[in-house]
Structure 1
């Protein structure tokens, strides 16, 4: 029961992390710039928005004209979402609360571990690319005119949170310590049999 509970906790943490990663991927506020007290400019991985109280958004027309950090971050975030989608399917097959591979308990446990490792890789990729994106914005901010440069927005924090949650969930899913706890119990029960038989000989 403890192992099943740990797997469920890991699965839901990973699912929450993947949801945050998908949301961050399509959020527009990866970069933000304030012009005056009311005018705001936001740039995401897919579109840019600007305006005062009402903002108008436009999709990027050409991929090749985008900055390098936007192209790289977009590609890696999509890769992370793809890995997480595959990890969701793999871990669902390997979890003890599902009926897949019930006749192969060892293979089922290994499948859940593989899904957890894939989640950890996906979360790590998200955290790394987001940190690199932020580092690029900070370097540009310090080397250019600060009044005209961008700062990182809320999508960065959502992406970081999604990556950390996905890694944490994957760590719970890939833990096999609880699944092995049954082996000593079975060995102890086998060891008790000879002692019982030996005592019965004296009666």
Structure 2
């Protein structure tokens, strides 16, 4: 029962982390710039927005004209989302609360562990690419004129949170030692009952 609770907690954390990663990928505030007191400029992985009170947004039209940090971050974030989606399906099959692969406790536990490892890899990719993106923005900010350069925005923090939650959930899902101990205890108890029960018939 304890391992089932850990699996559910890990699945919930990974699901929240995946949602945060998707939200961060779609957010516009990856880079921000304030021109004067009212004019604001935001740039995301897919579009850029600018304006005073009302902001107008437009999608990036040319992929090759985008900065290197935007192209790389977009590709790795999509890869992380894909891995998390596959891990979500694999973990659903391997979790104890589902009825898939009934009667195959060892295979079911291995499947859940594989899904957890995939979640951990996806979260690690998100953390690495987001940290690299921040490093590039800070480096550009230091090298250029500060009034004309961008700063990193709120999407960076959402992406970091999504990566950490995904990794934490994957760690709980890949905890195989708890499920192994529970399964061995149940098997030994069933074996004890099966060996002692026939002797009681002779009394």
TM-score under structure 1 length normalisation: 0.92
Q: Secondary structure at the match of 1:181?
A: helix
| 1:198 alignment counterpart | none
| 1:60 alignment counterpart | 60
Q: How does 1:45-194 map to 2 (within 5 A)?
A: 45-182=45-182, 183-184=184-185, 186-187=187-188
Q: Secondary structure at the match of 1:103?
A: coil
- 1:185–1:96 distance in 2 versus 1, CA, 3 Å: closer
Runs of at least 4 residues off by over 4 Å: 184-194
| 1:197 alignment counterpart | none
List alignment gaps of at least 5 residues for structure 1. 195-203
Deviates further, 45-54 or 184-193: 184-193
Rounded Cα–Cα distance in structure 2 between residues aligned with 1:41 and 1:188: 66
1:188 CA displacement: 7.3
- Measured against aligned partners, the alpha-carbon deviations of 1:84-120 in whole angstroms (never above 9, x if no partner) come to 0000000000000000001211000000000000000
1:12 CA displacement: 0.3
Rounded Cα–Cα distance in structure 1 between residues aligned with 2:76 and 2:159: 12
- Measured against aligned partners, the alpha-carbon deviations of 1:119-177 in whole angstroms (never above 9, x if no partner) come to 00000000000000000000000011001000000000000000000000000000012
1:192 CA displacement: 10
Q: How many equivalent pairs are there?
A: 198
The Cα RMSD (Å) is: 2.1
| 1:18 alignment counterpart | 18
